[in-house]
Amino acid sequence: MTLRQKIILLGLLSIFGISLTLWGQYAEYTLQLRKVEAISHDVRVIKAYSIVIHELQKERGKSKISASDASKGAVITQRAATDKVLSMQSQFIRGTFFAWHKLERARRAFDSGTHKPSDLMDTYSLLIGDILDEMKRITRQHDSASAKNEILAHHYLVGTKEYMGLMRATTGRWLEIVGEDDNLHHNLVQINALYGEELRKFQIEASPDLRKAYGEMISAPEIQSTLKEISQAVQTGKKPSRITTQMWWSMATSVMDGLKNVEERSLEDIVSKATARIEELRGSIRLGILVALAIGAVIIIITISIIVGLLRALGNILRSIDLISTTMDFSERIPANSDDEIGRISTGFNHLLEVAQRLLAEKDYLASTDTLTGAYNRLQFNRVLLEEIDRKRRNLTEMSLILFDIDHFKLINDSFGHDVGDEVLKTLSRLVSGSIRVIDIFVRFGGEEFIVLLRDDGLERAEAVAEKLRTVIEANEFPSAGKVTCSFGVTSWADNDTNTSFLKRADEALYSAKEEGRNRICSREAKEKKKVLAPPGKNRAVDK
């Protein structure tokens, strides 16, 4: 087998292995994506069903009230609202399970005045029951889905609200008639039992947060008053005597509205669970990448066995590689004097050397630079400071340091968020960089602390630079955060200093500036002379 054939074989093996891995990962991703899309679609369907049920319940209630009050205006308005919702949700609702003709027939009977109140209520209840059955069917088809419990809890919650609506209508009918009615009491007892069972199932399947939301809703005084009236009517067999029909409908409707709010929270839980499933899908993709890497490792092992036969032909290349590895000089290049496979390999390797050289340069930049602000980082500052200290001890020249930080930076983060805080840091860095010389060293020392190292200047020059920076920063309008100020500590190099004592003295000066009101400049040397550099006639402290 020739060298060319070995390289082709290696390439074919690599392509086959990678293609197989990618295909398997693609198939798994597609399968999971379809499941997530199905859950997302059914969440929209369930939401549409909930909206339609709520409107039908309202139409049923208003029709019941208008049957006794001879007022059809509210029914007409609600009917229009129901039709609008049905039109908007038609892609989810219009199906064989929904008896449109029953709704139209019930409306015509109401308009003609030939309906019986009980028949009208039964028609609406049957329509709502059809939708509830369809919701239950959707719940069953997600037995293995992550959102199963949430969808099931929502179904029971909608059922709970429907039974509450039936108790509202039954009790309202009971209040309208003169005297007691054993049949209506019997119906109320049955519906209340079904309401309790549906509520029990909901509380079993619901998440702790959803149960908490329901508990907060049900504990409201007006809700408790309504439930108390129902409980007394069920237990005593006598209709409520202290309230009118209109009062009852208003009280019961507040319960329905409260359950509707919990429904909306339930839908949020379902959406949240579906979103979490998408994150799981991303985890599957990451797993696929690991599998691809594993297959790549196998391919590398096979590659090594093939490359062994190429070692003699690659002797010159290996000697060049040894030279580069020994000297760590990535500017060296391997001679590429032929057009055969060896020449092509040499050319390709030279390209890799160029990439490595570029990456090393980028690494050096990243190792010395703060990625957020573009200033030098603390590691680079320590290197520069040690070099400058050695130079000062040899040449006995001046050097000074400005240490400053942003006043009340934590308050900025807490009030406006860390994104705004980051923008403040970046804007401040641009202001400082534009206000100092190229030879000055600008450093983000940590958090909101910065350093300007003046390598050949004394204290007087450092104080002037600090005042210039303080003024520029104070005058600038920072996006979202508004006005921002800084406190400065300034010191100069002493012959007996170390890097630690040098920084400590600047830090003590900064602390003094903070104690004395912020937005000012202090130096240890100036303090000993009882001199504090601050804007005349103003206290520029920023309240916490």
How high is the pLDDT of residue 543?
Answer: 36
The C-alpha atoms of residue 506 and residue 490 are separated, in whole angstroms, by 5
The pLDDT-based confidence of 110 (bands split at 50, 70, 90) is: confident
491 vs 524: CA distance, rounded Å: 7
Overall pTM > 0.95: no
CATH class of the domain whose range is 378-528: alpha beta
Confidence band of 194 (pLDDT split at 50, 70, 90):
very high
Query: pLDDT band for position 94 (50/70/90)?
Result: low
Beta strands 441-446; 400-406: pairing state: unpaired
Closest CA to 524 of 516, 515, 513, 514: 513
pLDDT at 237 over 50: yes
Give mean pLDDT, residues 9-36.
Answer: 75
The predicted structure's pLDDT at residue 321: 74
Mean pLDDT for the chain? 80
Q: What is the full DSSP assignment across 307-358?
A: HGGGTTTTHHHHHHHHHHHHHT-TT-------SSHHHHHHHHHHHHHHHHHH
- How far apart CA 524 and CA 497 sit, in angstroms, is 14
Residue 288 has pLDDT above 70, yes or no: no
> What DSSP state is assigned to residue 405?
E
Which residue in 345, 453, 360, 348 sits closest to 398, CA to CA? 453
- The predicted-structure confidence for 480-522, as pLDDT tens digits, reads as follows 899 999 999 999 999 889 999 999 999 999 999 999 999 999 9
DSSP string, 189-226: HHHHHHHHHHHHHHHHHS-HHHHHHHHHHHTSHHHHHH
Cβ-count burial 136-168 (b if 16+ within 10 Å, e if not): eebbeebeebebbbbbbbbbbbbbbbbbbbbbb
- Percentage, residues of the chain above pLDDT 90: 30
Computed on alpha carbons and rounded to an integer, the radius of gyration of the chain in Å comes to 39
Question: Is the pLDDT score of 539 beyond 50?
Answer: no
Closest CA to 78 of 93, 57, 99: 57
| Cα 457 to chain centroid, rounded | 49
**Percent of the chain at pLDDT exceeding 70:** 78
Residue predicted with more confidence, 387 or 328: 387
* Cα gap 488→535, rounded to integer Å: 13
| Residue located via tokens 């409201």 | 220
Q: What is the mean pLDDT of residues 366-391?
A: 92
**Cβ proximity of 41 and 92 under 8 Å:** no
Which pLDDT score, from 0 to 100, does residue 77 have?
Answer: 85
Residue 32 exposed, middle or buried by CB count within 10 Å (0-12, 13-18, 19+):
middle
| Closest among 49, 48, 77 to 62, alpha carbons compared | 77
